[in-house]
Structure 1
Amino acid sequence: MTLHVLSLQELKIDNEEDVVLVRRAVRLLAEARSFDSFTTAALTTAVTELSRNVWVHAQRGRALIEEVTDGVRTGIRAEFHDEGPGIPDLDWALTDGHSTAASLGLGLSGTRRLVDEFHIESQPGQGTLVRITKWKRF
């Protein structure tokens, strides 16, 4: 199915307050589109963890927040880009229980379980891209 972007926000992540702003933008969009409270909470938790990862590990990056549709469903897709140190071992980073720094303790594997779609690309020394999508439940 073809995915169509209905709205787009780009937010910088250059300091800890930006993590809060990204979280708030996603929560407000989910609430405005009448996502149920469970879906909204799961999405905002995932977005907070990923935004915090950008800030802690790369010190700067950006988040793209999109309202998307595939013609049947509506969802929110969030994409996080940084040019930090990258992740040398993605398999290890995606292992349950793996979390670094002062995060929520979810790690990437916990974040992956909170969303419907999860994609990650990372190269040591070149940064990381993480894309998540959460679909509105009927």
Structure 2
Amino acid sequence: MASRFLPARATEATEVLQSVSFPIRRRADLPNIRWAVRAIASEIGLSRVQQSRIETAATEIARNTLDHGGGGWAMIGLVNDLGRTGLRVSFGDDGPGIGDIDAALRPGYSTGSGMGVGLYAARLLSHDFMISSAIGAGTRVTLAYWK
């Protein structure tokens, strides 16, 4: 399984204070994820701009989970890591996987009809970004945004 983690901020001491999970099966599931991300981001005191950044990143990955992975799940959590409070959003699917993660992270790369900016934008909008994928075994993406 190939993976990338940029930058490595989270540690093994990360404590999940609260979390909620959502299935991703159809387009109608995406607003629920967006709203939950915004609620937790607001709860920890992120500014409206910061809320929009992580909300946009999470929406892009949720859409990819549905469009490219055939659906999956999202877990949104309020986390504490060595005194830092943050929001962590993890996604997973059992889809076809990503053959070349480095290529997929470049702007303009797309295996579908999209513009090829989803993974690239999500990475830029997040403080932490981790992706792992294997052909035939699906993809996992985790985003974090720290207060």
Q: Structure 2-normalised TM-score?
A: 0.86
Aligned match for 2:62, one of 51, 54, 61? 51
- Runs of 5+ in structure 2 lacking a partner? 1-10
The answer to whether the 8 Å contact 1:15/1:59 transfers is no
1:71-115 per-residue CA deviation (whole Å, 9 max, x = no partner) reads 321100000000001001111101123245465753212210100
- Matched with 1:72 is 83
Alignment of 1:6-85 (within 5 A): 6-85=17-96
- Runs of 5+ in structure 1 lacking a partner? none
Q: Structure 1-normalised TM-score?
A: 0.91
- Percent of aligned positions with the same letter in both sequences? 38
Question: How many angstroms apart in 1 are the aligned matches of 2:14 and 2:82?
Answer: 8
The answer to whether the 8 Å contact 1:47/1:78 transfers is yes
Question: How many angstroms apart in 1 are the aligned matches of 2:76 and 2:115?
Answer: 21
SS in 1 for 2:141: strand
The answer to whether the 8 Å contact 2:73/2:92 transfers is yes
Letter in 2 for 1:92: A
